[in-house]
Amino acid sequence: MGKKAVSYRRIEGIPDDWGTAVSVQSMVFGNMGDTSATGVAFTRNPATGENLSMVNGLSMLRAKMLWQGSALRNPLNDDTKNDQNQHLHSMQEAMPGTYKELWDIRNILEKSFHDMLDIEFTIQEGTLYMLQCRTVKEQELQPSIWQWICYTRTD
């Protein structure tokens, strides 16, 4: 064991014979075709607090491209369509089963936390993977994010 590990165990009262914990995770990819995507969902509208889920998402691109504004953006569902994206397919239309699964998880999290959350997710070949969630305070959001909170896929 290294010096830091020995010191940490001593400080925290962890016996040497307990061994070392290891986390093994598989990677998931949101860029594997039309049935894959990745995104960040808000359980409420971050601009108004309205109980209307909104999503930043994209298909076949890196998430960084979304935040840079260089990815196409589609609405999550009919409720989040506006004048600029009315003509685009929503996640609800393009991936109805996955949309329902994401919406059900959103409802469970909203009931548990009673606060606005951002939820990071990846859809790999039609399977939804929840990556993490955290509470979000409105002051943490940049105003520019409010302008393009949505679901995105490439055609």
Q: What residue type is assigned to position 146 of the chain? A: W
pTM: 0.66
Q: Give me the pLDDT at residue 67, please.
A: 52
Q: So what's the pLDDT on residue 146?
A: 42
pLDDT at 70: 52
What confidence tens digit (pLDDT) does each residue in 24-40 have? 888 888 777 778 887 77
Which residues, at least 6 apart from 30, have a Cβ–Cβ distance to it below 8 Å?
36, 37, 38, 39, 58, 59, 60, 63, 122, 123, 124
pLDDT at 139: 52
Q: Which two tokens stand for residue 13?
A: 């009262």
CA-CA distance, 151 to 155, in Å (whole number)? 13
Q: Report residue 126 as tokens.
A: 């039609």
- What per-residue confidence (pLDDT) applies to 149? 43
Q: Which residues of the chain have pLDDT under 70?
A: 52-74, 138-155
In this prediction, residue 60 carries a pLDDT of 42
The pLDDT, as a whole number, for residue 69 is 56
Helix (H, G, I), strand (E, B) or coil at 45: coil
